């Protein structure tokens, strides 16, 4: 398993990948789960979808039927 420590000895700030700054506001890049409110993960393979690891809610992207689990 790769280490989270950089060469300088500090811990890498992975959380900076989840947010972006727009003007004077900090905005979350990912969607929030409509069921439990957690941050959802975006998966591209095998089918593009948004998935919540906490409550197991899945939202498929680009499907014609709009299938939700």
pLDDT at 62: 84
Structure tokens, 61? 């992207």
pLDDT, residue 9, reads: 61
Q: With 60 as the cut, is the pLDDT of residue 10 above it? A: yes
- Please compute the mean of the pLDDT values over residues 41-63 and round it to a whole number: 92
Q: Which domain holds residue 56?
A: 30-69
User: pLDDT averaged over the chain?
Assistant: 81
**Statement: residue 64 has pLDDT above 90:** no
Region 39-50: mean pLDDT is 92
Residue 5 has pLDDT above 60, yes or no: no
Residue 4's pLDDT is 57
φ/ψ region of 18 (left if φ > 0, alpha if ψ in -120 to 50, else beta) reads: alpha
Structural domain total, the chain: 1
């Amino acid at each position: 398993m790769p280490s989270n420590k950089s060469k300088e000895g500090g811990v890498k700030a992975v959380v900076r990948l989840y947010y972006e700054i727009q003007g004077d506001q900090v905005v979350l890049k990912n969607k929030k789960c409509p069921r439990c409110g957690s941050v959802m993960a975006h998966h591209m393979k095998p089918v593009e979808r948004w998935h919540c690891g906490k409550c197991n809610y899945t939202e498929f992207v680009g499907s014609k039927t709009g299938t939700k689990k």
